[in-house]
Each structure stands twice: as structure tokens, then as C-alpha cells.
Amino acid sequence: MCGIVGYIGEKNCVNILVEGLKRLEYRGYDSSGIAVIYRNSLKIFKKAGKIIQMESSLPDNLNSKIGIAHTRWATHGEANDINAHPHLSQNNKFSIVHNGIIENYSVLKKKLEAEGYKFKTQTDSEVIAYLIEKNYKDDFEEAFYKALEKLEGAYGIVALCEDNPDFLMVARKGSPLILGVGNDEMFVASDVSAFLGHTKQVVYLDDYEITKIEKNNFKIKDFRLSDIARDVKLLDLDTSASDKGDYSHFMLKEIFEQPESIKRAFAGRLIENFGTAKLGGLNLTPQDLFQIERVGIYACGTSYHAGLVGSYILEELARISAYVEISSEARYKNPLIEKGTIFFAISQSGETADTLFAMREAQRKGAKVLGICNVVVSTIARESNGGVYVHSGPEIAVASTKAFTSQITVLFLYALLMGRMRDVSLQTGKKLINELKMLPEKIQTILNSVDKIDEIAVKYSKLNNYLFLGRGISYPVALEGALKLKEISYRHSEGIAAGEIKHGPIALVDEETPVIFIVPQDNTYDKTISNIEEVKARKGKIISVCFENDQKVKALSDDYIEIPETNSFLSPLLTVIPLQLFAYYTARALGCDIDKPRNLAKSVTVE
């Protein structure tokens, strides 16, 4: 969500900090700011709105070798200049940036106010700066430790002291922070993309760790102040992936990257002669796999929808009981961990707070949890008992597209692996692998006909309400299509199990409400046709996503989008592509900020 950047070194940090913030824009934000020590004095510049507005307020001669910066996604207090980070202590000697939520801030604030401190903002973060000031006795490091002792909640914090321009203090508890190690310079950020242009040497901080950063050194301690040794790792990332190229938006680029990202998800993981898959990262022996009787899946948002698709495939193909829980609900339950149950934690970033805490709770109860992540060495990837990287490549647009299809691909591979160990025949396994390998080319066929999807989207873009309907494995696709549309076009949309339309939602159908049906020719096809007829009888506008040869659905539809035929297990990987494009072209027709939609964040690292 919020973005943090910090620097100490021999260069002027102002441009480095601003550049780092711009690289973090994709995470979502509503204000930004920087704090630097300039001519022995702490200076802060912050503004609500886009980073360029804050950047334009910076003096031309501003020069500093140490500073911190932040993009804020409002949780406590409205988005304005005052509530923007960095925050100052009352004596103006300390400045902090903070990601996360301080759960006991109101109690701390009341105590500090009783001692004479006067707060300027509505945020929970400001108490951190005031606590450091209160505990300061000519030792910034010690004051920082003591301030942390009082904090409850989740946080990533970087603090700067006017009297100590030779180091920064950093703490992580539930919100990611990464160090970048350069030559006579150090960086800290909530995402490596913030400093990728400067160094690829990184140090990943874990929860409950405190770090003192100097220009050519770092020291990590745990919350008991015991020293921790940590190796510097070399990051292997292609910075060109952060370039839009010839595409008008990152989202469109990422939609078009799906033929290749799906290939990467299954590359090297197919054993074609045996009709099965290999997933070495699961860290499970064949005996472990045989003993699995039930699969639980934790995820949020788009990853939750991918998990739902996976649950259908697991039950039908592998004949394993599977269930999916929204992480924000699961983390507060007291889960029953039955013998023979394994869990998947699905998260594009690998830092989704709710999924991380749900995973930890299951592990406390003795469960094994496997991560399905896109970001290498993310927290979920590091703390899980094993897992699979989806290898989508960097996803910059807030609305996830290619990660969704890659997650489904990985879940399909797992289901195929388990199915072949049970009652899937060799012949069936080979056919499924062949179908999977043909998917990238079939997706490209859909991408070659975007003009028609654009035309349909523009036609309906002035309407305010949309319904997305699907049955069986297409129901999660309906949920995802509705989510994409509401995320980037701000239009009200609902994903509904088509069989449920008679149980209430049909009351919403009228001539001004397009109903988008996902209709692959699977075992629920005839029932979905009946639902189309019901909507048509009530003068609803019908848009269908159907197979190329489906004349029946085409005849019933006001508009339709064709997709190539495929196996029903793999149909979501095709049916979702037109829905992603429909959302994109609708948002473009409405002039929305597609890559950075209002109020949303790419990586949700708070509750």
C-alpha cells in the first residue's frame, strides 16, 4: 500500500527519493512527501495529490545526503497536506515515515497530550515521532528502541534525526522493508523497485527486526536487541519490465503479456511422457502427497478468485476436497486443522497482510502451508513450508491480470499432479498437457480481436450497473470480471452464480443493465442457456463470452465475444481475457486512471 524510500550516502538524495517514489506509484497513494537534513536542519516537503505536485514544491537548491520519503494511502485521517508523511516530532528534530497501522495510537496519543504534546495530524503515525522525542536523551538509537516498545500493531518505520545525519533507524513488524546496498550508499524501501536503478544488492528484513543504516554499513537486531547476521543477496530482475513500451497503460501491456506469462508458469514443470507435472518447490515427498485428503486455500481479491477456480479443478480432476477462504475472515477464526489437510496461501506480492496472518495461524495449529506467489523472497514465500512461484514478471498496474491466470495455471499443475497419483489416466493427463500448451496461442487469438471488445465496451460504457453470470468453474470468472470492472471504471458490477439469479438478483435486470454471461460448453451449458433466456425475457441486454462455434448463444445475445474451444478445466484462462479487456476499454472510454485507480493499492499490507 503506502510506499517508503530512504537514502544515506554521498549523492544528493533528493532526486533519488523522488525517483523512488515514482517507481512506487503503482502501489496506490493519495499524498507524498520527503524529509531531508539540509544545512544542519530537518526540512519536510509534502503534498496531497500526485507526486509531481510535491516535486514542484521542492526548492531548486535543495541538497542533502540523507533523507526519507513516503507515498501515503490514507487509513487514519483524510488525504491532505497535513496528514501526508513524513511526520515531525514536536521539537522538529525527528521525522518518520510509516506503513501499517498503530492499533493503540489513541491510547498513546491521550497519554502524550496529557504530558503537553500537541498533535497536528489525524494520523496514527504521528505518535511514533512524538514517542521518539519523549525518549530522546542524546541517543537517537536508544530513543527509537524505547518508542517501539510502546507500539502495538503492524508497521514498517524509517526514522531520521536532525542531530544524527550519519544514520537512519528502521524497524519492521508486519510491513515489508528491504535494504539496498550500494557503494558508499544505502537504501531502504518497501519494494526493491524503488532503488533498482542504483543497486541490485539487497537485504530482506524479517518481522521483529530493527536496523541501523549508515552509508557503508548496516546492523540488524531483533526486538530483544540481539545481533542478527544477514547475507546480502544479488537480485535478478529486468528493469525493462517496468517500462510500458508502446502500450498506453501497464494494464493493457500486462493483459497482452499473458501468452508468455502462462508459458513461464508451466515451463519446466511438465512431464509429458507421463501426463503429469512436477513442482519441486512443494517440499513434499510422494508419500506426503498420497496422504493429502483436503486442500484449504487462503487468498484475497483476485487471488481469492483464482483460488476458487483452483478448488473446482482440484475436486473434479484430483478428486480432493478443496475449500477457499477469504484471508481477512480466516485470520480471525480458530481453524480446525484436520489430519491430511494442506493449505495454499495465494498472493501476487507475497506480502498481503491478511493472507500472511491467516497462513501463520494455520501454521501455529500444525498445518503445512504452501505459498503461491509472484515475488521471489517475499514474506509469504520465505515463511511458507514450500510453494510455487508463478513467474508472471513484475505486475505494475494495480488491477491484477497476468498474475491471476498464472496462479490458475499453477493450481492446475498441482491438480494434475495429484490427479495422476489417483484416478486420472495417462491418456487424459497427456491430453490435458497438450491443451495447456495450446493455451498461449489461443489467448493470442483473443488478443488479435480486441477492436471488437473495445467497440462493445464503448457501446455500454455510459451505463451504471453490470451483472456478470457464470456457473461452475465460470462463476469465479464472473466474480473476477465484475471486480476488474469496478476496480478501474468505478462502475457498479456484481459477479453472480447464474443459478442464483432467480433467488434475488433477477430483480436488478432491466434494459439499462447489461448482463455478461460466461458460457463455455461444459456440463452446465444447458442450464446457463436457460438463465440467458430468463434475462432476455425481462429485456436485459446480454453480452456473452462463448466458444467460436456456439451459434445458439450468439443468437440469444445482443453482443458476443468469441473464444477458442478448450477443455473445461482450462476455460477460465480464456474466458477471463475478454473480461479484462472489457473492463480496460470501458475505463478508457470513461477517462479513468486505469493503472492507478482511486482508493486502491497494489499490495495490501494492512488490514
Co-location of 317 and 421 in the same domain: yes
Co-location of 387 and 465 in the same domain: no
Per residue in 511-524, pLDDT (tens digit) is 999 999 999 999 99
Q: Domain span at residue 342?
A: 240-447
Give CA–CA dist 446/375, Å, rounded.
28
3-state secondary structure at position 37? strand
User: Which of 423, 447, 471 corresponds to the end of one domain?
Assistant: 447
Give CA–CA dist 119/575, Å, rounded.
52
Q: What is the mean pLDDT of residues 544-556?
A: 96
Report the percent of the chain where pLDDT is more than 70.
97
Confidence of residue 295 (pLDDT cuts 50, 70, 90): very high
For residues 353 and 166, the model is more confident at 166
Per residue in 168-220, pLDDT (tens digit) is 999 999 888 999 999 999 999 988 888 988 998 999 998 899 999 999 999 99
3-state secondary structure at position 329? helix
Any idea which residues carry the catalytic annotation? Answer: 2, 602
User: Which of 188, 216, 237 corresponds to the end of one domain?
Assistant: 237
pLDDT at residue number 607 = 57
Choose the weakest-confidence range: 239-248, 469-478, 539-548: 239-248
Backbone angles phi, psi at 298, to 5 degrees: -110, 130
Distances (CA, A) of 486 to 214, 334, 403, 586: 45, 32, 18, 10
- Show the cell assigned to 245: 513500451
pLDDT at residue number 183 = 94
Give the count of domains, the chain: 3
Q: What is the mean pLDDT of residues 487-491?
A: 96
Co-location of 528 and 603 in the same domain: yes
Alpha helices in 1-95 (DSSP H): 13-23, 51-55
Co-location of 153 and 62 in the same domain: yes
pLDDT at residue number 606 = 55
Confidence of residue 548 (pLDDT cuts 50, 70, 90): very high
- Show the cell assigned to 388: 510455487
Q: In 3D, which of 581, 339, 349 has the Cα closest to residue 454?
A: 581
pTM to 2 decimals? 0.81
Contacting residues for 73 by C-beta, under 8 A, at least 6 apart = 1, 2, 27, 28, 29, 30, 601
Confidence of residue 407 (pLDDT cuts 50, 70, 90): very high
Contacting residues for 153 by C-beta, under 8 A, at least 6 apart = 100, 101, 102, 103, 104, 105, 124, 173, 174
pLDDT at residue number 75 = 77
Confidence of residue 234 (pLDDT cuts 50, 70, 90): confident
Confidence of residue 605 (pLDDT cuts 50, 70, 90): low
Give CA–CA dist 551/445, Å, rounded.
19
Q: What is the mean pLDDT of residues 406-418?
A: 97
Tell me the one-letter amino acid at 460: Y
- Please calculate the CA angle 46-50-54 and round it to the nearest 5 degrees: 30
pLDDT at residue number 77 = 80
Co-location of 105 and 254 in the same domain: no
Q: What is the mean pLDDT of residues 435-440?
A: 97
Co-location of 434 and 521 in the same domain: no
Co-location of 453 and 418 in the same domain: no
CATH of the domain at 292: 3.40.50.10490
Q: What is the mean pLDDT of residues 285-295?
A: 93
Co-location of 219 and 257 in the same domain: no
User: Which of 447, 469, 490 corresponds to the end of one domain?
Assistant: 447
CA 198 from chain center: how many Å?
A: 24
**Placement of cell 461444459 in the chain:** 522
CATH of the domain at 7: 3.60.20.10
Confidence of residue 429 (pLDDT cuts 50, 70, 90): very high
Average pLDDT, the chain: 93
Per residue in 451-465, pLDDT (tens digit) is 999 999 999 999 999
Co-location of 440 and 454 in the same domain: no
3-state secondary structure at position 41? strand
113-147 exposure pattern, b = at least 16 Cβ within 10 A, e = fewer: eeeebeeebebbbbbbbbbbbbbbeeebbebbbeb
Report the percent of the chain where pLDDT is more than 90.
80
Co-location of 415 and 475 in the same domain: no
3-state secondary structure at position 70? strand
Co-location of 411 and 490 in the same domain: no
Give CA–CA dist 222/229, Å, rounded.
10
- Show the cell assigned to 394: 513484475
Q: Per-residue pLDDT for 381 more than 60? A: yes
Confidence of residue 603 (pLDDT cuts 50, 70, 90): low
Q: What is the mean pLDDT of residues 14-27?
A: 88
3-state secondary structure at position 36? strand
Q: Per-residue pLDDT for 241 more than 60? A: no
Q: What is the mean pLDDT of residues 524-548?
A: 94
Give CA–CA dist 546/565, Å, rounded.
9
Q: Per-residue pLDDT for 237 more than 70? A: no
Co-location of 461 and 375 in the same domain: no
**Placement of cell 496529557 in the chain:** 114
